[in-house]
Amino acid sequence: MVFLKYDIEEKDIRMLKEVYQSVGWHKHNELIIEKVFNASTHVVVALVDGKIVGFVRALSDGVFNAAIYDVVVHKKFQGQGIARMLLEDMMKQLENVSCIQLIATTGNVPFYEKMGFKKLKTGMGIYKNQQLAQEYLE
């Protein structure tokens, strides 16, 4: 059974790192993970048997805009509906925000389209990392 929680404790950082690494995100060290989660206004964490298996985080002003980041599920737990559960919970938390944006990782656009997201006509970005710029920018 999957349980959800809405905060991050110091002891969770190592498990978050394991989830990131399971999907190939190796640049997320424990200091970075702590920093990005502490800066996030909304967090949903999925646990199975007390172990973190997935998460999503967002930044929002609570009225007009929100940006969802890091919808990540451990490789061993993918395909079980956990990402859908996390994203649905996050969307409920953000239901009063008029604009919710999300950057999809390569290959995951169909999932987010099923969740109701649509491509932006005017979305723009700057990636300082050249490899990411090549992957995500037109």
Strand, coil or helix: what is 49? coil
Question: Is 112 considered catalytic here?
Answer: yes
- The first and second tokens of residue 82, run together, are 């956990």
Q: Which of 6, 20, 69, 112 is catalytic?
A: 112
The DSSP-derived string for 76-94 is GGTTSSHHHHHHHHHHHHT
Pairing of strands 65-73, 99-102: parallel
The burial of 105, by beta-carbon neighbours within 10 Å (0-12 exposed, 13-18 middle, 19 or more buried), is given as middle
Residue 94 near residue 60 (C-beta atoms within 8 A): yes
In sequence order, what E strands does the chain have?
Answer: 2-5, 42-48, 51-60, 65-73, 99-102
Q: Which residues are catalytic?
A: 112
